[in-house]
Structure 1
Amino acid sequence: MGNSGGSLTTRSAAGLRGLMESAGFTEVEDGEPPAEGWQVADFAEYGRRSVADLVRETGAPAILVSFLDSDVAFVEAVTPEGGTWEAVLNRDMADDYGIPLDRFPVEAAAREALAWASAAGLTPDEELLHQALTGAAAFAEELSSLLFVALGLSGRS
């Protein structure tokens, strides 16, 4: 069985682990920072509104990636100014699971992801972003790593 948890990455200087636990995330563990000034925490489960609540509380951009048995990754990103975007990675596998892909349009996700990265002070790579959003891989974690590189969080390669 693959990964069914996820990770939350944020630019917040606040103690991420404690904030996540109080926001409803379970089994929170510190992860390796993807870039200077960013924090990562891995988790087992989270509440649906936890990312937006955390961003409101910290005033810092955040991106959450959760996995469905390492086959599919769901991405949700939020900025303090209210910018949000969602995506599903490993779309062919997501389709096999019956996940409605029309809820995750690639072009809208790409446009909003570029805006999110810029608002977060990152330098995104549009071509890599498109590859991450449309690519296929044996494990969704591979596409998640590519996504982080594409967003400018290059330490996640």
Structure 2
Amino acid sequence: MGDSGGSLTSRSATGLRGLMDAVGFDDVDEAEALADGWQVSDFAEARPRSLGDLVRRTGAPAVMVTFLDSDIGFVEAVTPGGGTWEGLLNRTMAESYGIPLEQFPVEPAVTGALAWSTAAGLKGDEELIRKTLTGSALFASELSALLSVALGIPGAQLPEPDDDEGDDEE
């Protein structure tokens, strides 16, 4: 079995860890600073209303991806104005798990992601968002990183290719 848990990206003037702990995220890692106040932090679990509670406290939009065995990502995003959208990462793998894909239609997710990006003061890339929500990857975290780039989150970067081979050799 692979990793589960999730990743949360938000803008905050303070560290995300304390806020996340306060609203019901468990086993929160220290946040990684991206740019322009955006941060990303991993967590083990979240209560059902944790994302909305965090957005209310920070007054900033946030996007959360919850992973299932490293294979699938369930995306939830909220804006302070009440805008929300949901999506699914790694649809082919999700189908093999028996997850009903019709519960995660792509076009409303693309529309919601673009609206979320605009509400966050960012410029989303519609084509890249669609590619992220329909694409496949070995690990859902790869698609999650691509989604952050597609949403226009400042400082978000694609994961480095696995270059472990030969790193320890002299």
What letter matches 1:135 in structure 2?
G
Q: What does residue 142 of structure 1 align with?
A: 142
User: C-alpha deviations, 1:76-101, integer Å up to 9, x for none?
Assistant: 00000000000010001111111121
- Using the size of structure 2 for normalisation, the TM-score is 0.88
1:54-65 matched pairs, under 5 angstroms: 54-65=54-65
Q: Is the 8 A contact 1:6 1:43 kept in 2?
A: yes
What letter matches 1:54 in structure 2?
L
Q: What does residue 124 of structure 1 align with?
A: 124
Q: Note the C-alpha offset of 1:6.
A: 1.0
RMSD (CA atoms): 1.2
- Select between 35-44 and 77-86 the one with higher mean Cα deviation: 35-44
- Distance in 2 of aligned mates of 1:34 and 1:15: 12
- Using the size of structure 1 for normalisation, the TM-score is 0.95
Q: Note the C-alpha offset of 1:146.
A: 0.9
- For 2:156, what is the secondary structure of its paired residue? helix
- Distance in 1 of aligned mates of 2:123 and 2:132: 16
User: C-alpha deviations, 1:6-53, integer Å up to 9, x for none?
Assistant: 111111213311111111111111232233211122100110110011
- Distance in 2 of aligned mates of 1:36 and 1:57: 18
Q: Higher helix proportion, which one?
A: 1
Q: What is the percent sequence identity of the aligned residues?
A: 64
- Distance in 2 of aligned mates of 1:138 and 1:29: 23
What letter matches 1:127 in structure 2?
E
Q: Is the 8 A contact 2:17 2:28 kept in 1?
A: yes
Structure 1 gap ranges (5+):
none
Find the structure with the greater CA-based Rg: 2
Q: Note the C-alpha offset of 1:3.
A: 2.0
Distance change in 2, residues 1:102/1:75 (3 Å): same
- Distance in 2 of aligned mates of 1:34 and 1:156: 9
Q: What does residue 16 of structure 1 align with?
A: 16
- Distance in 2 of aligned mates of 1:143 and 1:149: 10
- Distance in 1 of aligned mates of 2:28 and 2:136: 28
1:107-118 matched pairs, under 5 angstroms: 107-118=107-118
- Tell me how many residue pairs correspond in the alignment: 157
Structure 2 gap ranges (5+):
159-170
1:77-96 matched pairs, under 5 angstroms: 77-96=77-96
